[in-house]
Amino acid sequence: MTQPHQRHARLRLLLGDDGLQNLGNATVMVIGLGGVGSACAEALARGGVGTLIVLDRDVVEESNINRQAIAFTSTLGMKKADVMSAMIHEINPDCTIHAQQVFLTPDNVAERLEKFPRPDYVLDCIDTISQKLAIAHWCASQGLPLLSSMGAGNRLDPAHLQFANLRKTQICPLAKVMRIETRKRRIKGIEVLYSTEVPRKLGAGREKSASLGSMSYMPPIMGQMIAGKVIRRLAGLEPMPRPPRLFRTREEALALEQS
């Protein structure tokens, strides 16, 4: 049987004892356990993060199997949060897990998220704009570092993925809407992972299930990249970012947008 200290032996070679201890003492909240979030949470668990808060509103569906780390024939119909919790426990039984099926709305984000231990990092891996905005506002009001994923749908090439300040993004339609809406809400300083690849158009007027394709590798690569960035920062290999902030005035928001 593998000794507990061997579980992170290869990590220790790169991070050292101090880096591993920093990760073991860290708490990360992953919101959304789809293709991006499930891969991200898995990598964080394998990377030695000591406490994980994993949240999602859905159950596993057959259409998830092509890209989600928790989607198997055996998990169909199960709550994504429960499946993720079981996976994390299998990876690292010493990890403290807070898993819950939760439906976030702009009105209940603070109430729902403040029930959990205060995280050192919040990872927004959902694709609903109103919820993303509410999470960003909550992080800004609480002084919590935030990393938010933008769109992965209808993209093919992960070489176009990059980290950036939201206001410096281009091409990504989701990021464009987020730029406009965060300016209205006076939120600044949101770090995102986004793609500069022009998304393929599958036909206007179709429902989401028929117009938003997803490759098996794109969302998981995004999740792994987000986890990697967070692990390096929490381990002390890279500086921690400043949390998003709230503008004091609308004039300040307009001035920054025009700069």
What's the total number of domains in the chain?
1
Is the pLDDT assigned to residue 1 strictly greater than 50? no
pLDDT at 202: 85
Instruction: Report, as an integer, the average pLDDT of 145-172.
Output: 97
Instruction: Report, as an integer, the average pLDDT of 149-177.
Output: 97
pLDDT band at 254 (very low <50, low <70, confident <90, very high): low
| CATH code: domain of residue 33 | 3.40.50.720
pLDDT at 5: 72
Is the pLDDT assigned to residue 193 strictly greater than 70? yes
pLDDT band at 82 (very low <50, low <70, confident <90, very high): very high
CA distance 42 to 34: 12
Distances (CA, A) of 97 to 11, 37, 94, 107, 156: 21, 15, 9, 25, 33
Is the pLDDT assigned to residue 252 strictly greater than 90? no
Among 200, 215, 193, smallest CA distance to 68 is for 215
pLDDT band at 161 (very low <50, low <70, confident <90, very high): very high
Is the pLDDT assigned to residue 207 strictly greater than 70? no
pLDDT at 149: 98
The pair phi, psi for residue 251, each rounded to 5°, is: -65, -40
pLDDT at 250: 63
State the residue range of the domain holding 99: 4-258
CA distance 57 to 187: 25
User: Which runs of E-coded beta strand occur in the chain?
Assistant: 27-31, 51-56, 96-101, 121-124, 146-149, 161-165, 187-188, 191-195, 245-246
Does pTM top 0.85 for this prediction?
Answer: yes
Is the pLDDT assigned to residue 3 strictly greater than 80? no
pLDDT at 201: 87
Least confident span in 5-14, 51-60, 126-135, 208-217: 208-217
pLDDT digits (tens, 9 = 90+) for 83-96: 999 999 999 999 99
Those residues with Cβ within 8 angstroms of residue 183's Cβ, 6 or more apart along the chain or in another chain:
253, 254, 257
